[in-house]
Structure 1
Amino acid sequence: MRKLSVLRWGLALCCGLWAFSGHAQEVLERVKNAGVVRVCIWPEYYGVTLRHARTQELTGIDIDLSAQLASDLKVRLEYVDSSFPALIGDLTGDKCDVAMFAIGVTEQRAEKLRFTQPYLRSDIYGITTKSNQVIRQWADIDKPGVLVAVQAGTFMEPVMEQRLQHAQLVRIKLPATRERELVAGRVDVFMTDYPYSRRLLDNADWARLVPPPTPFSVMPYAYAVKPGDAKWLAVMDEFVARIKRDGRLERAASANGLGPIVVR
């Protein structure tokens, strides 16, 4: 009876490994067979993957580079709307083949997903209003009574949760936005990255940047895929290496105002 149980366990393990091995080929084969690569984007990411509210046109570095990916693979490109809170579920739930919207490589995400080599990196910046008297410089942020906002699901959330010693962290969940909470006076400052800070500075006359005097928490950004598919990850990683070598990354970054944060 014991030998039979061991045999059944061995067969189950063998079959499981066989199924896992077959799964490892699934994404690339499906992309090639279907003739389409499905790319998850967050359509509110200025300079990265932004959908214009009126025209519905998509612009940004990863709109340009996802088109290059599809061209390299010789397949059509299909976008799937996602977000940072939905990212892991969308990839592991097979809603898209790859997430291309400057994904911060956090420890929490690395436990659930697999990442290419980084192609961008950004520090954390504060955004407040020009009229705000509480936050004048970076040193004013972590003080008693200060309300510091982060968008739930972004890499700023765990970083600020760990680093703040005196200020109160306020997590903003969609459909609420950091901008509305700040302008309404319900928070004093919100934390964001370089691309999103450019959106505010380029489009909001009330916004003021609060940069750290020295590097605070620099985060590498990469493309993400679901685990268990080494072949597909290798394809995506080689794509990133290739666009670094041939200049396409540099050109796309410069065209979208992100030249200063390129990983060369």
Structure 2
Amino acid sequence: MKEIKAFIIVLILSLFVISCNKKNTNNSGSITKKAPLKVGMELKWPPFETITEDGKPTGISVDLAYELGKYLDRDIEIVDTSFGSLIPALETGKIDIIIASMSITKERAEKINFSKPYFYFSLVTLLNKNSNIKDKKELFSREGLKFVGPKSFVALKIPKEKANNPKLLEFDDKSSAVLEVVQGKADAFIIDAIAASEFYSKYPEQTEILWDPVEQAKIGMGLRKSDTELLEKVNTFINDLEKNGVYKRLAEKYNSIIDKSLPGQTLDFYTTPIGDE
């Protein structure tokens, strides 16, 4: 009788193991693996999303995607997609997530879910060197400063709303606007940090950069509205970027590269929100 009971127990355990194995195998009997997480980004924006000389994806966003893959225990497949096609690609299932320096906006959030922000892209100010403006507070409090910018550009919208009786000088393009600052006909040009650095490198004797951020765009990962479980995991991953050493690893690899495009700056420039919010 004992032998029969023992045989039944062994049989039940065997069936349980077989059942578990079936859940992790395909029809051919081989062990299945989670499908790669398809990450969409446009590989033409160094140092965040670009390619090596031999065509391999590289950059801060690429490494961040691989860090996410480790956290989720999933392989990562980088899918090079034009920026304007990223949301349609996500909606149609061609990609699973967007990690592409995409700013969180109300219009985009109507179509997709955004994670918590993980980077902050700042607008800074290119100044005429004789302006003697020390910080953002002085930029907006000094009366009658001349701000310059292209038509319908945020460079003029911000001082119109925040500056003290500013004079707004409107031009057709960035190059014409910058020349006004270079020649001393304007005091300030609010612009993205990389563009400000490029203009400064051309006119280092006439201009300087006020690195105190005027405004920031919050950068998030984009997911399908239906992928709430993945969104929760991604948000947990983002919450722990500093604690888990991800920011540190990215900084060690990219600080010197960031310094080339933004002299004197490090990854902290992209990870620190205004007001340390």
TM-score range for the pair, normalised by the shorter chain length: 0.5 to 0.7
CA contact (8 A) 1:91 1:99 kept: yes
Selected match of 1:226 from 224, 236, 239: 224
How far the C-alpha of 1:74 sits from its partner, in A, is 2.7
Paired residue for 1:15? none
Contact 2:40 2:100 in 1 (8 A): yes
Where does residue 19 of structure 2 map in the other structure? none
What is the Cα deviation at residue 239 of structure 1? 1.7
Where relative contact order (Cα < 8 A, 6+ residues apart) is larger, the structure is: 1
Superposed CA deviations along residues 111-165 of structure 1, whole A, max 9, x for unmatched, are 222111222212113679xxx99xxx9898744xx5369xxxxxxx6x4585476
Structure 2 distance, partners of 1:191, 1:44, is 24
In the alignment, does 2:108 pair up with 1:99?
Answer: no
Q: In structure 1, the residue corresponding to 2:84 is in which secondary structure?
A: coil
1:146-190 Cα distance to aligned partner (Å, 9 max, x none): 5369xxxxxxx6x458547645586xxxxxxxxxx86xx576489
Give 1:37's aligned residue. 37
Q: Verify: 1:261 aligned to 2:264, yes or no.
A: no
| Structure 2 match to 1:147 | 150
Distance 1:169 1:251 in 2: 42
Secondary structure of the 1:123 match is strand
TM-score (norm 1): 0.59
Q: 2:100, 2:239 → 1: CA distance?
A: 17
**What RMSD in Å do the two structures reach over aligned CA positions?**
3.9
Q: CA 1:104–1:89 in structure 2 vs 1: closer, same or farther (change >3 Å)? A: same
Query: CA 1:69/1:84 → structure 2, altered by over 3 Å: closer, same or farther?
Result: same
Unaligned runs of 5+ in 1: 1-31, 150-156, 171-180
Look up the equivalent residue of 2:271 and give its one-letter code: V
Please report the TM-score for the alignment, with normalisation by the length of structure 2: 0.57
Of all paired residues, the percent bearing the same amino acid is 19
Q: Name which one, 1 or 2, has greater alpha-carbon Rg.
A: 2
- The offset of 1:207, in angstroms, is 7.0
* Residue 41 of structure 2 corresponds to residue 51 of structure 1: no
**Residue 192 to residue 223, structure 1, CA distance change in 2 (3 Å):** farther
- Residues 56 and 126 of structure 1: is their aligned pair in 2 closer, same or farther, counting only changes over 3 Å? farther
Any conservation in 2 of the 1:105–1:220 contact (CA below 8 Å)?
yes
The count of residues paired between Structure 1 and Structure 2 equals: 203
What is the rounded CA distance, in whole Å, between the counterparts of 2:146 and 2:57 in structure 1? 34
Q: Which residue of structure 1 lines up, in the alignment, with residue 236 of structure 2?
A: 238
Q: CA deviation at 1:233?
A: 0.7
